[in-house]
Structure 1
Amino acid sequence: MTSKEMAGIAYKAIDEKLGKDIKIIDISEISILADYLIIVNGTNISQVQAIVDNVEMRMAENGIVNKKIEGNRNSTWVLMDYGDVIVQVFMPDDRLFYDLESIWRDGKDVDAEEFKKVP
C-alpha cells in the first residue's frame, strides 16, 4: 500500500467523525520521518477521541498498524504514527500553540479532494 493510500484511509476516517480544519501536508521531500502529515481539530475531548478511535479502526481494517500513539483518552492532543503517515489530532487551542503548519511550511499543502478519490 502506498503512503498516499494510507493517508487517504486516515483522511476518510477523520472526515467520518467530522474533524474540523483538516490539513494534509506532503513532507516527503523535506523529511525522512514520513511522507504525509495530517493535522485536524476536534471540538471537544470526546470528538478528539472519536477521531483517534476511528482512524485506528479504519487503518487496522486495512492492515496498517500504528507504530506509536502519544496521548490518552483525556488528552487535548494525540499523535498517531503510522510510519509514512503521521496524524495529529488537536483541540483548537493546542493546535494554535504547537503551530505545526508553520513548522512544516516547507511541505506541500495537499487538497483533501485528492484523498476522497483514493480507494
Structure 2
Amino acid sequence: MTKQTLLQMAYNAAEDKKAEDIVVLNMEGISLLADYFIICSGNSDRQVQAIARELIDQSEKAGNPVKSVEGFDAARWILVDLGDVVAHVFHKDERSYYNLERLWREAPTMEI
C-alpha cells in the first residue's frame, strides 16, 4: 500500500464516521514520526471511539497492520499509528486545548 493510498483510506474512514474539521498535515521532512498526520474530532466519547475503530478496521482490512493505538478507553485523544500516517482523533473539547495544528504550524496542510 502506498503512502498516498493509506492516507486516502484513513481520510475516508474518518469522514465515513462523520469526523469534524479533518486536517491533513504533510510531515515529510518535518517529523520522523510519520509522513502525514490526520487530525480530526468527534462530538462525544462514543463518536471519537467509532472514528478510531473505523481507522483501525479499514487499515487492517487493507492489509496494513496498525502499529499502535493510544488513548482508546479514555476517548479524549486517540492516537492511531498506521505507519506512514498517524491519526489524531480528538474529543472536540480537547482539540482546541492541544491545538496540534499550531504546534506543527510549519507543516503544510493538504487537501484530500
The answer to whether 1:74 aligns with 2:74 is yes
8 Å Cα contact 1:66-1:81 kept in structure 2: yes
**1:41-89 deviations in whole A, cap 9, x for unaligned?**
1010110011011111111110111111111233211001112100000
**Distance in 2 separating the partners of 1:74 and 1:53:** 14
- Name the counterpart of 1:90: 90
8 Å Cα contact 1:29-1:107 kept in structure 2: no
**Distance in 2 separating the partners of 1:2 and 1:13:** 16
8 Å Cα contact 1:28-1:36 kept in structure 2: yes
**Distance in 2 separating the partners of 1:31 and 1:42:** 25
- Letter of the structure 2 residue corresponding to residue 81 of structure 1: D
- Name the counterpart of 2:49: 49
Q: Which protein has greater RCO, CA pairs closer than 8 Å, 6+ apart?
A: 1
Output aligned runs, 1:21-36, within 5 Å.
Answer: 21-36=21-36
Q: What is the TM-score normalised by the length of structure 1?
A: 0.90
User: What is the DSSP-based 3-state SS (H/G/I as helix, E as strand, rest coil) of the residue aligned with 2:31?
Assistant: coil
Q: Number of aligned pairs?
A: 112
The percent of aligned pairs where both chains have the same amino acid is 37
**Distance in 2 separating the partners of 1:17 and 1:75:** 15
- In structure 2, runs of 5+ residues without a counterpart are none
**Distance in 2 separating the partners of 1:73 and 1:32:** 27
Q: Which deviates the most, 70-79 or 86-95?
A: 70-79
8 Å Cα contact 1:27-1:35 kept in structure 2: yes
**Distance in 2 separating the partners of 1:72 and 1:79:** 8
**Distance in 1 separating the partners of 2:2 and 2:53:** 22
- Flag as ranges the 4+ runs of structure 1 deviating above 4 A: none
- In structure 1, runs of 5+ residues without a counterpart are 113-119
